[in-house]
A and B are shown apart, each in its own frame.
Chain A
Amino acid sequence: MSVIQAFLDVLIERWDAILTGTLEHLYLSFVSVAIATCIAVPLGIILTRKQRIAEPIIGITGLFQTIPSLALLAFMLPIFGIGITPAIIALTIYSLLPILRNTYTGILGVDRSAVEAGKGMGMTNFQILYIVELPLSLPIIMAGIRTATVLTIGVASLAAFIGAGGLGELMFRGLQMMRNDLVLAGAIPAALLAIFFDLILRWVEVKTTPRGLKK
């Protein structure tokens, strides 16, 4: 009861800090996912054309994923120092795998007969990509971006450890001061953000599923 009361008081007193934290959090997450998308989607497409090197490269991004997120952020310190840049680099590395893997498997999963028909009819490689392969794999690529976004919003809470701000800062301050109300003031908005974007991106996924593929 008292925690909830205190939490509500924090909301009212520190709404500006929460708002700033939320905006920083969103900034970190979106810039990272956007960079990761710009790297992973083209890379995924290239890997479908060079399948021999696909598994090793996807394996490397998988390796990054197994590094505990806090450790990955800590690795950034000696190389890039503290602040937003190292946090974005770490979060980008973290977002790569789901987008890369979904782009790769999504395109390879496109019905081969549609691709063969396209080639036999006289489509150029580029036309096969943008008329056949990308539209048909878009829902799967979007699912990868959604996974990466939700993951990144979660991990971005830790970015406060290397001085990148975000909602994590409220949580850590609360932990240090043993004030659960402050912890909640950071944790609840972070959780809501993750849920909110999961829902939004699920909706986008449905919208990008081509008619004719929907049951």
Chain B
Amino acid sequence: MITFENVRKVYPDGFEALKGIHMTVAKGELVTLIGPSGCGKTTTMKMVNRLIEPTEGKVLINGEDIAHKNPVELRREIGYVIQQIGLLPHMTISKNVSLIPKLKGWAKERYLKRVDELLDLVGLDPTVYRDRYPAELSGGQQQRVGVARALAAEPPIILMDEPFSALDPITREQLQDELIRLQQEIQKTIVFVTHDIREALKISTKIAIMKDGEIVQTGEPNQIVKEPKNEFVKSFIGDEHSGSDCDGSRMSSYK
């Protein structure tokens, strides 16, 4: 369980990125942080693995204030997937995925077995892909490896920073579907940042809509669609939808 207690972030230039947010993410939930750019969603996410430190307030994992934990050890218990993927180009897929288990001192047989399991899990045939280099894979395949890498050391929490937004629409849909399946299968706590409301409605168990460093509304997807708290939420859902091509069918599944 992740708890944000009155978390504030002021950057040295005086910009107040977060204005004291409160939020709880229960175990096994897939929470999406969404909002216009500059709303603080990525800042909020990066506080969970201490890539950004709060100016005020606390972030707790299972009741323990993470400010007292060693950042390196903390991060090894939290999977991290980013939009730019960030695979190490000079290492094979197998080495990329097994990097953190190796640094954690796993035995070779154990992490090699784990690599094959994970590649299977994200839909890549290990015998085909294990010894390839990232440049030999498509963007979608690379991000599948990115997800496998995040899962490698069996972290209970996974952070995903717009992981699918640079992919083509078909691949994005596929990976969203697989994330939902994965989530049901492995029951991780996932914090997911996106600016795509359709993506949020599709994959989340809970959505937190943010604006100007504050959380405007949190709730289950259908709840947010049915009862938008104010004009901003209404227009945010509406705007995104008027521009999309298949909102009718997508929305209906939430009503």
**Which residues of A are at the interface with B, using a C-beta cutoff of 8 A?**
111-124, 127, 131-132, 135-136, 210-213
Contact = CB atoms under 8 A, between A and B. Distances in A.
A135 B87 CA distance: 14
A131 B87 CA distance: 12
Interface in B56-108: 71-78, 80, 82, 84-92, 99-100, 103
B82 A131 contact: no
A112 B85 CA distance: 11
Nearest to B133: A212
A60 to B, nearest CB: 29
Interface residues of B, number: 31
Contact of B88 (A112, A114, A119): A114
B46 to A, nearest CB: 8
B91 A122 contact: no
B89 A111 contact: yes
Contact of B51 (A119, A123, A124, A213): A119
Given A119-B51, A212-B134, A124 B89 contact: no
Nearest to A215: B135
Which of B76, B88, B133 counts the most A-chain CB atoms under 10 A from its CB? B88
B91 to A, nearest CB: 7
Given A212-B92, A212-B133, 7 more contacts: A117-B88, A120-B82, A121-B149, A122-B71, A122-B74, A122-B77, A212-B135
Which of A111, A112, A122, A212 counts the most B-chain CB atoms under 10 A from its CB? A122
B49 interface: yes
Interface in B216-233: none
B118 to A, nearest CB: 14
Nearest to A136: B90
A121 B89 contact: no
A120 B73 CA distance: 11
Given A114-B87, A132-B88, A127 B103 contact: yes
Contacts of B133: 211-212
Contacts of A123: 72, 103
Contacts of A111: 86, 89
Interface string B97-123: 001100100000000000000000000
A40 B208 CA distance: 50
Nearest to A114: B86
B75 A120 contact: yes
A124 B77 CA distance: 14
Contacts of B84: 112-113, 116-117
Nearest to B102: A131
Contacts of A116: 82, 84, 86
B76 A122 contact: yes
A120 B90 contact: no
B45 to A, nearest CB: 10
A127 B80 CA distance: 17
Contacts of A122: 71-78, 100, 103
Interface in B180-217: none
Nearest to B90: A210
Query: 3 tightest A-B contacts by CB?
Result: A117-B86, A210-B90, A122-B75
B82 A136 contact: no
B90 A213 contact: yes
Contacts of B75: 119-122
B44 to A, nearest CB: 15
Interface in B128-173: 133-135, 146, 149-150, 159
B11 to A, nearest CB: 18
Given A113-B85, A120-B82, A212-B133, A135 B90 contact: yes
A123 B73 CA distance: 9
A124 B75 CA distance: 10
27 contacts: A112-B84, A113-B84, A113-B85, A113-B86, A114-B87, A115-B86, A116-B82, A117-B146, A120-B159, A121-B75, A121-B76, A121-B100, A121-B149, A121-B150, A122-B74, A122-B75, A122-B100, A122-B103, A123-B103, A124-B72, A135-B90, A136-B90, A210-B89, A211-B133, A212-B90, A212-B91, A212-B134
